[in-house]
Chain A
Amino acid sequence: MTVPVLVLEDVSRTHGTGDNAVHALRGVSLEVMEGELVAVMGPSGSGKSTLLNVAGGLDRPTSGRATVDGVDLGSLGAKELARVRRRRIGFVFQDYNLIPSLTAAENVGLPLELDGMRPRTARRNARHALDVLGLADLADRYPDAMSGGQQQRVAIARALVGTRRLVMADEPTGALDTTTGEEVLRVLRKRCDDGASGLLVTHEARHAAWADRVVFLRDGVVVDTTGSPREPEDLLDEAPAR
């Protein structure tokens, strides 16, 4: 956990101008390390989605800098940016994640195909990615034959297939019940334990608690953070009586 995969430096994002200007982000700095899962919490309208979109190159900051794997996203043209996103960054949204006419394996393989990999190879990689997450049984199913939680876990597999190591997840458990939501978080946690990095927006404290660190946003400003965790060995000493 020493290499920062994502770096935000003094990022501001203002929508509109003059009297209509909305300062969605104001001077936000944040690093996400390799293998780290960071959760972002905050009231509605505090800038969480804006933060995620800027970090993932879907939106550009008004000032400040977003760097992924050492590449300053602001220095890239539209085409290069699209390529960086395809190769390094995966997104998981609240819903509408998977393409309905493709099977799970085809959905997961899609980013690889878009990046020029041959369909057969892409499909094989996709199956492996599903397998690692315990989703092998779902490979040939279509989204409408999967539960919401299963779809979201497949979406995480897709977000992190191939060379991608950074996943942005915006309320990925939003439409799910508590147990199903938790399965999604466990999958995300596992991928980060295996070396990926994640930035997760959630309203649920119990879900944010799967992250290494929680950052609180209010009115576009980071107001607090939990800091990084201690080792599990120390935790047992203070755990509830066993």
Chain B
Amino acid sequence: MSVRLGLMALLAEGPMYGAGLRTAFEERTGGTWPLNVGQVYTTLGRLERDGLVEQAGPPDPEGRISYRLTDAGRAAVEEWWRSPVDRVSTPRDELVIKLALAVTVSGVDVQSVAQTQRTATLRHLRDLTRLKQRALDAIGAGIGDRGADDGGIGGDGTADHADPDRDLAWLLVLENHIFSAEAEVRWLDHVETRLAQAGRRPHAASTRHHAASTRHTDPVQPPERASVETTGGHP
């Protein structure tokens, strides 16, 4: 999903050739998700089939085709910026890619992308914590004498106390998810601070060149790239 949307996010800036798209994608996401040209063309083909991109004109003398977003494609990109990444159903790196692109693509309110994500991740973290609370009750690591049987949710037999090892394993799995969700929130806090330091308070970034004629490398803005690299390495 992120490759599709990542390419579309770049096309939102203007038409591009497949090769240019590949380079821009890799550079702006700091190589988080390497692509080969074949993947790019396959993806463009599917996007075209789905009516999200279209050819910007006839092939140039060297036979290269430039692509641009359709209205439906533009709407899909807008929606992507607005909605949080779902941690359960998407690959781990999607959020990193999304924020890296949000910083480099013009007109995206990066602060609000980060805030939306943080709220969603905290919700996820809370859900995991409630499951953990039940797991703790089931294991009997309860607090006070009234342990598991007065909570209303822990003592109804759903946890099947037959196998304490399984309960413990389940608890550990939950805690693993809790720690990684927490790391994500901490990273997002850090992103917010970093953006504020870089003077990227909520306002549209200045419009940048349109890449209609991009054949070579799409230039990468050094300060933004630098901030992606430093935040990416933060624990």
Binding site for B on A (CB under 8 A): 43, 131-135, 183, 186-187, 189-190, 193, 204-206, 208-212, 214, 216, 223-227, 229-230, 232, 235-236, 238-240, 242
Contact = CB atoms under 8 A, between A and B. Distances in A.
A226 B144 contact: no
B185 A205 contact: yes
Contact of B122 (A190, A193, A209, A223): A209
A190 B128 contact: no
Contacts of A210: 126, 129, 133
Interface in B132-156: 133-134, 136, 142-146, 151, 153
Interface string B207-222: 0000000000000000
B127 A235 contact: yes
Contacts of A132: 144-146
A235 B130 contact: yes
10 contacts: A43-B193, A131-B144, A134-B145, A183-B143, A209-B129, A214-B126, A216-B118, A216-B119, A225-B119, A236-B131
A229 B193 contact: no
Which 3 A/B pairs are nearest by Cβ-Cβ distance?
A134-B144, A205-B185, A209-B129
A189 B193 contact: no
A109 B123 CA distance: 37
Contacts of B133: 186, 189, 210
A43 B194 CA distance: 13
Given A209-B126, A238-B127, A239-B128, 16 more contacts: A134-B143, A183-B143, A186-B143, A187-B143, A190-B144, A193-B151, A205-B125, A206-B129, A211-B126, A214-B126, A216-B118, A224-B116, A225-B119, A232-B131, A239-B131, A239-B174
Contacts of B193: 43
B1 interface: no
Interface string B185-207: 11001001100000000000000
A131 B119 contact: no
Binding site secondary structure of chain A:
mixed
B33 interface: no
A186 B119 CA distance: 22
Contact of A214 (B115, B122, B192): B122
A1 to B, nearest CB: 13
B178 interface: yes
B173 A242 contact: yes
The SS class assigned to the B binding surface is helix
Contact of A206 (B123, B127, B146, B182): B182
A183 B186 CA distance: 21
B46 interface: no
B177 interface: yes
Contacts of A211: 126
Contact of B128 (A133, A134, A209, A212): A209
B151 A208 contact: no
Contacts of A208: 122, 125-126
Given A134-B143, A229-B130, A240-B174, A206 B151 contact: no
Contact of B126 (A43, A135, A229, A240): A229
A227 B123 contact: yes
Nearest to B128: A209
B186 A238 contact: no
Nearest to A236: B131
B162 interface: no
Chain B CB within 10 Å, residue with most, of A204, A223, A226: A226
A226 B136 contact: no
Contacts of B170: 242
A43 B145 CA distance: 38
Contacts of A186: 133, 136, 143
A236 B127 CA distance: 9
Contacts of B129: 206, 209-210
